[in-house]
């Protein structure tokens, strides 16, 4: 794979709000665009050698940046490159737009990624978060990644088995020790989807759980479902001015889950059906969106001055309604987090990466 251009000249005091889907955040002291893997490594290596903090940017769909910005060098990953080899292995550069990659795999007659359609952001962010939707996670397909190891100052290839991939987590999350440069995914060469595991998607497709369907049909259905929830980027729709799902679905062990479910039924309705899903060995996953609604936060619930609000389509997205500051968003996030904790004793965890700010 090749990329078209080297690192751009550094600029000072560039407003980072233009590089996030929330359209929030202050300036970076120094800003560099890296359009090749080599220029990315060089820019990060130079900043590391100078003791300069580094913020990596790409799609900006999972970042909440403080109003006072970032006192260091922001490196925009603008690398491109996409190839599917004869064995059905996808090779994609970190700076590629994720949904464009999914669309190209489906158009080329490959399956596996269709349930991850419509997720905003870049390829390089997907293994960090182990992105997932509609019953599929990246870990189901990830083979390996090429990383720039900042401690060693070297590029190395790491198999997926060494990345500790879990629910919205990996060994790469909450650390800046390594930078994803390229990922490789094993695709389905028969053009069919992964088995349909998510009931909402099965209903939309009118198929049984476990069915395999032409990938293009699944992609279309997923995009329709996501649009209905304001989860497909649209510059004209403030419901999509968000970081996607702001809170992860809480994972509880059996004892915790029993106590929480008892508390929910006592406060909501003894006969209420609480959405819950398998969360791995001995654990149960609850729906953060459902908990938020049951705690009294309806769709469209406003934050300070109405400048931020819960999406009018989905209570898991916190949105910028125009003219907002990052602190407005954080005030709303704290209100929701604390309200769910007070009602049900469940601690919601933010999914986006918080830069120079905290809840």
Contacts of 32 (CB under 8 A, 6+ apart): 7, 8, 10, 11, 43, 73, 74, 75, 76
Residue 39 annotated in active site: no
Per-residue pLDDT of 10-43, as tens digits, reads 788 899 999 999 999 999 999 999 999 999 999 9
CATH code, 11-77: 3.30.43.10
- The conformational region for residue 147 under phi > 0 = left, psi -120 to 50 = alpha, else beta, is beta
Residue 8 annotated in active site: no
Detail the DSSP E strand segments found in 22-93. Answer: 27-34, 54-57, 63-65, 70-77, 82-84, 89-93
Q: Do domains 11-77 and 238-355 have the same CATH topology?
A: no
Cβ atoms 167, 131 nearer than 8 A: no
Give me the residue spans of the domains in the chain. 11-77, 82-228, 238-355
CA 226/CA 141 separation, integer angstroms: 22
> What is the share, in percent, of the chain residues with pLDDT greater than 90?
91
CATH code, 82-228: 3.30.465.10
Q: Please state, in angstroms and as integers, the Cα–Cα distance from residue 246 to each residue in 77, 233, 351, 359, following that order.
A: 23, 15, 5, 12
Per-residue pLDDT of 84-118, as tens digits, reads 999 999 999 999 999 999 999 999 999 999 999 99
Q: Given 3, 122, 245, 311, which residue is catalytic?
A: 245
pLDDT at 191: 96
Cβ atoms 259, 230 nearer than 8 A: no
Instruction: With cut-offs at 50, 70 and 90, classify the pLDDT of residue 281.
Output: confident
Cβ atoms 160, 199 nearer than 8 A: no
Residue 35 annotated in active site: no
Q: What is the mean pLDDT of residues 259-283?
A: 91
Q: Given 30, 150, 168, 337, which residue is catalytic?
A: 168
CA 85/CA 64 separation, integer angstroms: 36
> Is residue 5 pLDDT above 50, yes or no?
no
The average confidence (pLDDT) of the chain is 94
CA-based R_g, the chain, Å: 20
CA 46/CA 54 separation, integer angstroms: 10
pLDDT at 56: 94
pLDDT at 11: 80
CATH code, 238-355: 3.90.78.10
Contacts of 319 (CB under 8 A, 6+ apart): 230, 238, 239, 240, 241, 242, 308, 309, 310, 311
Q: What is the mean pLDDT of residues 290-314?
A: 97
Instruction: With cut-offs at 50, 70 and 90, classify the pLDDT of residue 62.
Output: very high
Instruction: With cut-offs at 50, 70 and 90, classify the pLDDT of residue 252.
Output: very high
Query: Would you call 154 exposed, middle or buried from its count of C-beta atoms within 10 A (0-12, 13-18, 19+)?
Result: exposed
> Is residue 299 pLDDT above 70, yes or no?
yes
Residue 35 structure tokens: 């359009």
CA 36/CA 111 separation, integer angstroms: 28
Q: Is 172 helix (H, G, I), strand (E, B) or coil?
A: coil
- The conformational region for residue 300 under phi > 0 = left, psi -120 to 50 = alpha, else beta, is left
Query: How many C-beta neighbours within 10 Å does residue 167 have?
Result: 16
């Amino acid at each position: 794979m090749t990329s078209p251009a080297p690192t751009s000249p550094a600029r000072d005091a560039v407003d980072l709000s233009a590089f996030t889907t929330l359209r929030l955040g202050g300036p970076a002291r120094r800003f560099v665009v890296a359009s090749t893997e080599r220029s990315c490594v060089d820019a990060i290596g130079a900043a590391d050698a100078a003791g300069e903090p580094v913020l990596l940017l790409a799609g900006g769909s999972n970042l909440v940046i403080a109003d006072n910005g970032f006192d260091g060098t922001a490196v925009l990953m603008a690398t491109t490159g996409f190839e599917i080899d004869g064995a059905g292995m996808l090779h994609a550069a970190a700076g590629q737009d994720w949904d464009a990659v999914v669309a190209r795999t489906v158009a080329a007659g490959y399956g596996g990624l269709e349930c991850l359609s419509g997720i905003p952001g870049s390829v390089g962010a997907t293994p960090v978060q182990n992105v997932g939707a509609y019953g599929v996670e990246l870990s189901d397909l990830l083979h390996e990644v090429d990383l720039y190891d900042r401690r060693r100052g070297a590029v190395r290839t790491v198999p997926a088995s060494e990345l500790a991939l879990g629910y919205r987590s990996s060994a790469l999350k909450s650390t800046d020790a390594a930078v994803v440069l390229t990922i490789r995914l094993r695709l389905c060469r028969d053009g069919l989807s992964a088995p349909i595991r998510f009931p909402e998607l099965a209903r939309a497709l009118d198929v049984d759980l476990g069915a395999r369907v032409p990938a293009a049909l699944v992609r279309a259905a997923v995009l329709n479902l996501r649009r209905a929830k304001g989860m497909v980027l649209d510059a004209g729709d403030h419901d999509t001015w968000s970081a996607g799902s702001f809170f992860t679905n809480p994972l509880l062990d059996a004892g915790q889950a029993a106590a929480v479910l008892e508390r929910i039924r006592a406060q909501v309705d003894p006969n209420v059906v609480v959405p819950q899903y398998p969360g791995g060995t001995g654990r149960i996953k609850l729906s953060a969106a459902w908990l938020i609604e049951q705690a009294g936060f309806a769709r469209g619930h406003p934050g300070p001055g109405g400048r931020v609000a819960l999406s009018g389509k989905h209570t898991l997205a916190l949105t910028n309604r125009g003219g907002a500051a990052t602190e407005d968003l954080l005030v709303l996030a704290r209100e929701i987090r604390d309200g769910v904790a007070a009602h049900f004793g469940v601690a919601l965890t933010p999914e986006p990466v918080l830069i120079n700010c905290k809840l």
